[in-house]
Amino acid sequence: MISVSIVDDENELRKSITTFVNGSPGFRCISAYNSAATALKGLPADKPDVVLMDINLGGMTGIECVERLKIEVPTMQILMLTVYEDTDQIFKALAAGASGYMLKRSSPTKLLLAIREVHGGGSPMSSSIARKVVASFQKSQKTGEKQTHLSPREEAVLDCLAKGLTYKQIADQLGISIDTIRTYIRRVYEKLHVQSRTEAVAKYLQA
């Protein structure tokens, strides 16, 4: 059973998604919040497997909420569910720690697949969003822009990966838990737009 929490200030949509999730075999909605402030108070205790997060919440944005949640609970898996399709919002959300980015107009079936993919360690995106990410990546390659904005800790983790260290060895060397290492690696993959250790290391060595 995959537990899901929802953060969205649209009452009808929030109720609709809650009903749909609860009516789907293998899924259960354990909480729903109408603001980032209430979500920050409740989600750490709820401990859902996946959080569905809107961006335009009023007051604190969903992206800011993601960033604060990932600091407090690094292993929390968050899937952005929004109407925004602009590249800037996409990359801000992923950089903040979101695990995937789906549009609200996505079909219920695709949403369930995305929730399951995030729970399984993947980073799903709507097809139109994926195309924007690819287009942005290709454009930055042509213009010679810097591809990544890794934090010092993310660079340290990637450097350890390049040296062939295991997750446990990296955790021991950096003095943090294996779960935290997995979170950093997921962020590195998202920022480098890669899907594997080999791709990440190759791009790192080419930088």
Give the model's pLDDT for residue 146: 47
| 47-51, 81-85, 135-139, 153-157: which is most confident | 47-51
Going by DSSP bridges, is the β-strand pair 50-53/78-82 parallel, antiparallel, or unpaired?
A: parallel
Higher pLDDT, 150 or 16: 16
Give the global pTM.
0.65
Contacts of 33 (CB under 8 A, 6+ apart): 5, 6, 7, 8, 39, 42, 43
Please answer whether residues 160 and 197 qualify as being in contact, where contact means their C-beta atoms are separated by less than 8 angstroms: no
Give mean pLDDT, residues 124-152.
Answer: 62
Instruction: Supply the mean pLDDT for the chain.
Output: 84
Instruction: Flag the least confident range among 68-82, 149-163, 185-199.
Output: 185-199
Q: Tokens 């890669």 appear where?
A: 194
Give mean pLDDT, residues 103-113.
Answer: 90
Give the model's pLDDT for residue 82: 86
Higher pLDDT, 201 or 143: 201
Higher pLDDT, 125 or 14: 14
CA distance 12 to 98: 24
Give the model's pLDDT for residue 199: 67
Does 188 score more than 50 pLDDT? yes
Alpha helices in the chain (DSSP H): 11-22, 36-46, 62-72, 87-96, 108-119, 127-143, 152-162, 167-174, 178-192, 197-206
| Confidence band of 18 (pLDDT split at 50, 70, 90) | very high
Q: What are phi and psi of 55, to 5 degrees?
A: -95, -50
